[in-house]
Copies of this chain bind each other. A is one copy, B any other.
Amino acid sequence: MVTLLQQSAKKTNSKIMMIVIDGLGGMPHPQYYNQSELEVANLPNLDNLSNVSSSGLTLPIDHGITPGSGPGHLALFGYDPVKEFIGRGVLETLGIEINLTENDLAIRGNICTINQEGIITNRRANRINNNEGQRISKILQDISPSNFEIHHVMEHRFAIVIRSSNTIELDEHITDTDPQIEGENPLKAEPIHSTAKNTANLINDFQATAKKVLAKETQGNMILLRGYSKLPKLPSFQEKYLLNPCAIAAYPMYRGIAKLAGMTIKKCKPNIDNQLEVLKKNFKNHDFIFFHYKNADAKGEDGDFEGKVQSLEHIDPIIGEIRNLNPDVLIVCGDHATPSLTGEHSWHPVPLIIHSKWTNSNGIKHFDEKHCAKGDLGILYAKNIMNLALSHAGKLSKFGA
């Protein structure tokens, strides 16, 4: 692993437990005495843990950069989230649990509305409902070449997976047909590299046929495509770290990213008690466990300050129970901040705790943004967490003599 450093990971019996609280970080809210969700929440287990652990704030990507869930998680798993970019098409298909092979091409599609001149009047076909979206996706499937799969995602959103074969080599280096603006025509896909000509032709033929068969529709009468991408070839946790990892995550996209990293995906319900049960069953059999808690992010995105506080108070006793399982290294982190004040992902650094018998406990009294800013780890890039985890677990050899 870490070939740059000429170091190598060591196989040991120690166990690393990584709890990812999605959208963990927040911001002071003027309606709540200028405190953040973490500051307001009553978190006895997290406070107790912080007090005897190393702590700090993580930058998921870099200062001022708001991450999506894909890069946010890749960084937590020790991949460079800028170099190992996961395209929009792949993320969309991971989110609906479609299996991809490395040569398949995944595409994000919008069903949209154009007028008689062919100009886009609504990029999302007025957010047609799921039934309409499904019906139109079915029409698109019927006119597709045999190696095309059309998967409805939600409302106006769909994904295309083009399966590769011996005779068809797919190349993602083509331009979007979605101009990302209304009042213009859908674009033709152009090859960026000459090797992508065939793929561009496939896309243009499909879009032209779609336009014909959808012409009689009133709302969803055209499609826009973007985010052509293939599965990135990530070195797995086995290759990179000699770990035997598993993922306990209820939502498809996170399961998909974990699978990319080579984790065994455990079945669980979107319910923290069920996730804990699944964890207890599998705790013995893996030396790295990724445990994903979605609700904090969901409440943050809803702009629901009190809901986010409650979601944090809901995970707190679970963290106490997980601590009682005695993993050698226990990490509590987040993929990004989702302040309920803004109702969306943000660039703010995210609180982090690392606990092991080798941590410099820094006597932090409460687990929140302000206290973690004074932690002994300072502000660090999230992609460094895995090196810390491995070192704390005794799994990383010395660099140089």
Query: Which of B65, B358, B377, B396 has a CB less than 8 Å from the CB of A5?
Result: B65
Does residue A206 face the partner (Cβ distance < 8 Å to B)? Answer: no
> Are A370 and B360 closer than 8 Å at their CB atoms?
yes
CA distance A379 to B57 in the complex (A): 12
Task: From known contacts A360-B348, A378-B373, A399-B68, infer whether A388 and B63 are also in contact, taking CB-CB under 8 Å.
Answer: yes
Task: From known contacts A69-B401, A347-B391, infer whether A63 and B358 are also in contact, taking CB-CB under 8 Å.
Answer: no
Number of A residues with CB within 8 Å of any CB on chain B: 65
Does residue A380 face the partner (Cβ distance < 8 Å to B)? Answer: yes
Query: Which of B361, B374, B401 has a CB less than 8 Å from the CB of A88?
Result: B401
Copies of this chain assembled into the complex? 2
Does residue A376 face the partner (Cβ distance < 8 Å to B)? Answer: yes
Would you give the shortest CB distance from A20 to chain B, in whole angstroms? 16
Residues facing B in A54-104 (CB within 8 A) are 57, 61-71, 81-82, 85-86, 88, 91-92
CA distance A378 to B370 in the complex (A): 12
Query: Which of B61, B65, B358 has a CB less than 8 Å from the CB of A27?
Result: B358
CA distance A172 to B65 in the complex (A): 37
Contacts of A212 in B (CB 8 A): none
Would you give the shortest CB distance from A353 to chain B, in whole angstroms? 15
Query: Which of B6, B67, B85, B379 has a CB less than 8 Å from the CB of A398?
Result: B67
Does residue A244 face the partner (Cβ distance < 8 Å to B)? Answer: no
Would you give the shortest CB distance from A399 to chain B, in whole angstroms? 5
CA distance A63 to B370 in the complex (A): 21
Does residue A289 face the partner (Cβ distance < 8 Å to B)? Answer: no
Contacts of A63 in B (CB 8 A): 377, 380-381, 384, 387-388
Does residue A362 face the partner (Cβ distance < 8 Å to B)? Answer: yes
CA distance A4 to B376 in the complex (A): 30
Closest residue of chain B to A52 (Cβ to Cβ) is: B34
Does residue A191 face the partner (Cβ distance < 8 Å to B)? Answer: no
Closest residue of chain B to A6 (Cβ to Cβ) is: B85
Contacts of A68 in B (CB 8 A): 398-401
Does residue A345 face the partner (Cβ distance < 8 Å to B)? Answer: yes
Contacts of A358 in B (CB 8 A): 27, 341-342, 346, 348
Residue-wise interface mask of A (381-401) relative to B, using a CB-CB cutoff of 8 A (1 in contact, 0 not): 100101111111000111111
> Are A388 and B347 closer than 8 Å at their CB atoms?
yes
Contacts of A227 in B (CB 8 A): 401
Does residue A28 face the partner (Cβ distance < 8 Å to B)? Answer: yes
Does residue A176 face the partner (Cβ distance < 8 Å to B)? Answer: no
Task: From known contacts A7-B65, A378-B379, infer whether A86 and B400 are also in contact, taking CB-CB under 8 Å.
Answer: yes
> Are B387 and A65 closer than 8 Å at their CB atoms?
yes
Task: From known contacts A361-B34, A369-B360, infer whether A67 and B374 are also in contact, taking CB-CB under 8 Å.
Answer: no
Contacts of A341 in B (CB 8 A): 358
Q: Which residues of A contact B (CB under 8 A)?
A: 4-7, 27-28, 34, 36, 57, 61-71, 81-82, 85-86, 88, 91-92, 227, 341-342, 345-349, 358, 360-363, 369-370, 373-381, 384, 386-392, 396-401
For the complex of A and B, 9 pairs with smallest distance between CB atoms: A64-B387, A68-B400, A64-B388, A378-B379, A63-B384, A71-B400, A64-B391, A68-B401, A347-B391
